[in-house]
Structure 1
Amino acid sequence: MARITAGVGSSHVPLLGVAHDQKKDRDAYFGPIFTGFDWTRAWEKAAKPDVVILVYNDHASAFDMKFIPTFAIGCGERYQPADEGWGPRQVPQVIGHPDLAWHIAQSLILEEFDMTIINEMDVDHGLTVPLSMMFGDVAEWPVRVVPLAVNVVTYPPPSGNRCWALGEAIARAVASFPEDLNVQIWGTGGMSHQLQGPRAGLINQEWDNRFLNGLVGGSDHLRHIPHIEYLRETGSEGIEMVMWLIMRGALGPSTRLLHRHYHVPCSNTAIGHIVLEPNP
């Protein structure tokens, strides 16, 4: 049967995609950021996942104010990089896994999660930047991807508790898929940052690192953080961290830390990265 073998958390800052694409990833500014992903790139080559369930948020590329799904799962065969205003990133197209995606969608809906099923969409930096960070410059992505988009742009976003529970349900769905697959789940976005208003540039390193600490081990206290705490402590865009809780919920009661990286700043954003595996 299929199995979730690991979880990855990572910021998906668009500037990282620019740095990667323009070969600036080892310069004085970006080098310390990308160095923190070197371990993961080597580990991914050894781990050889077949599929990544990639949890991210769309940035008005596939969805806009006309259509705001709370949870949307991509069940298509392939996804093109989106044009976010300066042309699509010159990275490989993303190849889906429709059989697994439809299985997950059916399982989640029967467990009373109201999923939006998407068969055609372009994917923006929220999805392609994490792929670049984990796999580098490649002719084709070495994994198939099930995109899972979460609304953290327009209020109300889902609660951390709902996201954690969704991760638990995804794990059950994957475990019931009959094909032998090595599956990873990635939670992306964050960490603390605010892009507008009087608090633009806010970064809370202490809070970010407490959050990273909470992903490791057997505690589930992170699922109960209220929206107002994310807003107060981590800025208006810090709410993206609820997507990491989908990843954490899918890993089971306890986790073991494999790798961790945190860096400030990247533009006006904190960069967080963590690799976990289930701890039986």
Structure 2
Amino acid sequence: MARIIGGIGTSHVPTIGVAYDKGKQEDPAWTPLFEGYKPVAAWLAEKKVDVLVFFYNDHCTTFFFDLYPTFAIGVGEKFPIADEGAGLRNLPPLRGNVDFQAHIAESLVNDEFDLTVFQEKPIDHGCAAPLPLLWPHEPDWPGTIVPIAINVLQYPLPTALRCYRLGLAVRRAIESYPEDLRVVVVGTGGLSHQIHGERTGFNNTEWDMEFLDLLENDPAKLLQMTHADYVRLGGAESVEQIMWLSMRGALGNRIRKLHQNYYLATTTAMTVVLYEDDDGQGELLAFGEAA
């Protein structure tokens, strides 16, 4: 069967993609960020990962506020990289395994997640900014993508607990797929940042470190938090952290952190962290259950 072997949390700041495309890997302002992704890319190559499942948010590229789904999954053989104003990127389209994507979609609907399904729509920096730092892309990507978009823009948003339960359901879907695939789940966004209003430029490194510790060791505490809690602690846009909880929910009870890089040089705390699924089975306790 398909199985999840690890999880990645990563920022998806659009300027990461711009810096990558302009070859700024050796620029002193960007080197700490790019160097931080190299151990993750090496691990993915070593493990010969077949599929990356991305929990990300669309920034009004494919969806707009007149029709913005709570959860959406891409099903298709390929997805173009969106032009978000800096020109078309020199990246091949993302590849998809339709059978696998369709299986996950059907499983999630049967698990009572009402999904929007999209095809051949462009994927923006929510997924495409960190992807070339994780996977090589010449002449093509080494594996396929399952894009799962989560609404973190237009209220009402799904709760932290709902996003976590989505991760649990995705794990069940993956483990019920009969083909032998090595899968890694990726949660994107955050960490602390605010890019508008009176707190423009706000960051909270202390909270970022606490969030990363809780995510690894005690995620149940994060599930009790409201959107207002996340915004107060990390800034308005840091509500994206709930997408990391989908990644965490898809991992097993025991995980092991292999790598973490935290770099605060712009308005966003740019972070990448790699977890290995240590037990390969089971789920975290649903919130409210006794140990």
TM-score by length of 2: 0.93
**Separation of aligned partners in 2, 1:268 and 1:203:** 7
User: Aligned pair 1:122/2:126, yes or no?
Assistant: no
Could you tell me which residue of structure 1 aligns to residue 94 of structure 2? 94
- Cα deviation, 1:28-72, whole Å, max 9, x if unaligned, reads 100111111111111111011111111111111100112110100
- Cα deviation, 1:161-208, whole Å, max 9, x if unaligned, reads 001111001000100001110011100011111111110000110101
Matches within 5 A, 1:1-280: 1-136=1-136, 138-217=138-217, 219-265=219-265, 267-280=266-279
Runs of 4+ that moved beyond 4 A: none
**Separation of aligned partners in 1, 2:255 and 2:222:** 14
- Counterpart secondary structure, 2:130: helix
- Cα deviation, 1:207-239, whole Å, max 9, x if unaligned, reads 011111112236532222211111111111000
Change (3 A) 1:219 1:227: closer
Change (3 A) 1:165 1:125: same
How many residue pairs were aligned?
279
**Separation of aligned partners in 1, 2:7 and 2:196:** 31
**Separation of aligned partners in 1, 2:246 and 2:232:** 22
Letter in 1 for 2:244: W
**Separation of aligned partners in 1, 2:207 and 2:80:** 35
- Cα deviation, 1:66-89, whole Å, max 9, x if unaligned, reads 211010000111000112123222
Give the superposition deviation at 1:136: 4.9
Gaps of 5+ in 2: 280-291
- Counterpart secondary structure, 2:236: coil
**Separation of aligned partners in 2, 1:98 and 1:146:** 9
**Separation of aligned partners in 2, 1:88 and 1:259:** 32
**Separation of aligned partners in 2, 1:236 and 1:78:** 33
Give the superposition deviation at 1:254: 2.6
What percentage of aligned pairs have identical amino acids? 44
Moved more, 210-219 or 17-26: 210-219
**Separation of aligned partners in 2, 1:120 and 1:18:** 23
**Root-mean-square deviation (CA), in Å?**
1.2
**Separation of aligned partners in 2, 1:138 and 1:191:** 30
- 8 A contact 2:36–2:261 mirrored in 1: yes
- Counterpart secondary structure, 1:197: coil
